[in-house]
Amino acid sequence: MSIETSLPMRVLDHASSMLAYWDRSLTCRYANRVYEKWFGKPGAELVGMHMSDLLGPEIAALNEPYVRAVLDGQAQTFERTITGPDGIRRRGIVRYHPDVIDSAVAGFIAEVSDVGPIKDLEARLGDELATRERMAIALDRNQAALEAAQELGRMGSWHWEIESDITSWSSGLYRLFGRDPGRLPPGYAEHARLYTPRSWRLLKDSVRAALKHGTPYAIELEFYRPGGDTGWLAARGEVERDGAGVIVGLHGTAQDVTESHCLLHALQGQTERLALALDAARLGIWRWNPQTDVLEWENRGVRAILGIPAEEGGCESGAACFSRLLHPDDRLAFFDATRRFLEDGTDRFAFEGRIVRACDGQVRWVECMGKAIDDADGFRILTGTMLDVSEQVATRNALQNTVAVLRESCERKSQFLFALGHELRNYLSPLSAGLQLLGPALGEGAPRRIEELMRRQLGHIARLVDDIFDLRRIQSGELQLERARMSLNAMVNEAMEVCAPVVKRAGHTLAVALPDEELLVKGDKGRLTQAMVNLVTNACKFTPPGGHVGVCLRREADGMAALTVRDDGAGMAQDVLDSIFHLYVKLDQAVSPACAGLGIGLHLVKQIVELHGGSVAAASDGPGKGSTLTMRLPLCRRRARTAVGQHS
């Protein structure tokens, strides 16, 4: 049968890369049909042609060092741009593989892959990264604007993590207390030295109530100022919960309100001066007697916010006035807040919502804070403040929209990877089936080596595709675990059978240490085997040929099983250990340039183990000193022996 009609040659003719065989005299002995796309000549016409006649003197001269090296037995990889007869410039990755027969190089196989689409994809990804950098700069500017606003408003923000007792302060809070920003803020207990004893007790009671009931607080505290005298802070705090709804921290703000506090207490009853101060702060004051439904505007600020002319008097009916001024969608929330304020007997009232200005119909956001005062007749009068917070709400919404855009971008990336996996799998299946059919037809020598090379590469791609699918399933919550009581000893043995060809091909020595007892866990045997295979394969990739890989299974005192994979390969720096299990994280190519992958494998190990209630960890003494990766899984409880068993 001629070479044009043989099955192996037809398979090579349908490959996406140019494949050719050149003997030591640089005469072509075989070329597939892809050469016609690049050079305008069918592969069959190249047989017998000298390489320089095909490439031309300029490209032949550029390729000469690589040709000499491959004929000396050294595989070569380089890039080259070639202009075809159609005028199209194609960028390709060129690989020369020496053909060694009886310790002598008889020729070499040339493989050229078109990387133009990949380069275009890299350019598009570069544009996306640049866009994200611009977004990060915009967020930094917003943060700087927030810091400036806190300085102008003489306020600061804080966050307290309860379990670790770690407190973080904004720069504004450091300024308020006169503390060095280069030092850590004080812990919760140390705050006793920042406030007067009475205010410290008030703060502790407010924090205790917030942690117990989850309710926010807004209080005034007397604090020690940098000069040694005291001032007053308007302190607000609210709880922070984790995904399970458990309170894990508090965050809030503190604003220096010393001046307003002194005015309210020293100049009580002097309405005009108080009104001037409130006007300066653009803060409106109103009074409402819910029993008589009489509403009064206390200063010009509230009229300016609501767009009420100065000559218009107060509203005789408070309920009717609020119904007219409040946005229809926020009326119910306002009256619900009022009802709770009156029925619960609390001293403070809070509401944020929209109003429709009376003069121009413009919709504005306002924040209302109220406090109950008993009048001479024993009625609870609601005295409230009103602040136009439209700009703050707009900023908050803009930040929320930014977060939504980032989340959508991440979801698109995930969908792209999923679609890419589908496309690759569609091509892999016929290629794999073709190799299965092709195997018996190939003899020894170069065709068999080409088949083995193609099988290995298909295996790599298949594993990458499987990783992409598993990653998508985990991210979307679609990964289903088939849990059953299983033996880790048997799982390790099965995983070692899967890894045996990889270990053998790498020339490593594999040592497996299993305990005499059966260690049982409740888990998905297939997924745990996949995680174990990923760890051993990772160790083989980062260990030079002839290295040692050790697998050890043991029971630990805390009722956990530890599965350890240790190698004496490339090792890792300390700053890499914490991130090695993160998605898309790979070691520096300078450490192990032969390692391929997308940085998904170890992340999948972490996700699978954590779905089983376990954990993973990495350890290394540094570059060149090997690595140790450990999976820890909860063991099944030992079954108690029956009374019969105890007496038998």
The per-residue pLDDT for 598 is 58
The per-residue pLDDT for 615 is 92
Read off the pTM.
Answer: 0.36
Q: What's 228's domain CATH number?
A: 3.30.450.20
Cβ 380 vs Cβ 343: under 8 Å: no
Judge residue 586's burial from the number of C-beta atoms within 10 Å of its C-beta, 0-12 exposed, 13-18 middle, 19 or more buried.
Answer: middle
Task: Please tell me whether residues 232 and 180 are part of one structural domain.
Answer: yes
Q: What's 630's domain CATH number?
A: 3.30.565.10
Give the 3-state secondary structure percentages of the chain, helix then strand then coil, rounded to 5: 45, 25, 30
The per-residue pLDDT for 594 is 46
Gap between the Cα atoms of 155 and 387, Å rounded: 17
Q: 102, 11, 1, 72: which is closest to 444 by C-alpha?
A: 102
Task: Please tell me whether residues 626 and 574 are part of one structural domain.
Answer: yes
How does pLDDT run across 66-110, given as a tens digit for each residue? 999 999 999 999 988 888 777 778 888 999 999 999 889 999 999
Whether residue 225 lies inside any domain: the answer is yes
Whether residue 643 lies inside any domain: the answer is no
Task: Please tell me whether residues 524 and 556 are part of one structural domain.
Answer: yes
In this model, does residue 305 exceed pLDDT 80?
A: yes
- Average pLDDT, whole number, for the chain? 79
Gap between the Cα atoms of 290 and 322, Å rounded: 12
Whether residue 645 lies inside any domain: the answer is no
Task: Please tell me whether residues 329 and 378 are part of one structural domain.
Answer: yes
Gap between the Cα atoms of 37 and 82, Å rounded: 11
The per-residue pLDDT for 632 is 94
Whether residue 319 lies inside any domain: the answer is yes
Task: Please tell me whether residues 195 and 232 are part of one structural domain.
Answer: yes
Among the residue ranges 56-70, 267-281, 631-645, the one predicted with the least confidence is 267-281
HEC sequence for 229-261: CEEEEEEEEEEEECCCCCEEEEEEEEEECHHHH
HEC sequence for 354-390: EEECCCCCCEEEEEEEEEEEECCCCCEEEEEEEEECH
Q: How many domains does the chain have?
A: 6
* Average pLDDT value for residue range 436-440: 59
Task: Please tell me whether residues 259 and 279 are part of one structural domain.
Answer: no
Cβ 174 vs Cβ 180: under 8 Å: yes
Q: What's 420's domain CATH number?
A: 1.10.287
Whether residue 401 lies inside any domain: the answer is yes
Which of 370, 388, 406 corresponds to the end of one domain?
388
Task: Please tell me whether residues 124 and 109 are part of one structural domain.
Answer: no
Task: Please tell me whether residues 108 and 120 are part of one structural domain.
Answer: no
Task: Please tell me whether residues 158 and 281 are part of one structural domain.
Answer: no
Return the residue matching tokens 């960890």.
617
In this model, does residue 470 exceed pLDDT 90?
A: no
pLDDT band at 465, cuts 50/70/90?
A: low
Query: Which domain, by its residues, includes 460?
Result: 395-474
Q: At what angle do helices 271-280 and 258-266 cross, to 10 degrees?
A: 160
Using CA atoms, how far residue 92 sits from 77, 81, 394, in Å, is 10, 6, 51
Task: Please tell me whether residues 496 and 628 are part of one structural domain.
Answer: yes
Could you give phi then psi for residue 375, rounded to 5 degrees?
-85, -175
Using CA atoms, how far residue 589 sits from 566, 584, 585, 619, in Å, is 21, 14, 12, 20
Cβ 148 vs Cβ 167: under 8 Å: no
The per-residue pLDDT for 645 is 38
How does pLDDT run across 252-304, given as a tens digit for each residue? 998 888 888 877 776 665 666 665 666 666 788 788 887 788 888 877 788 88
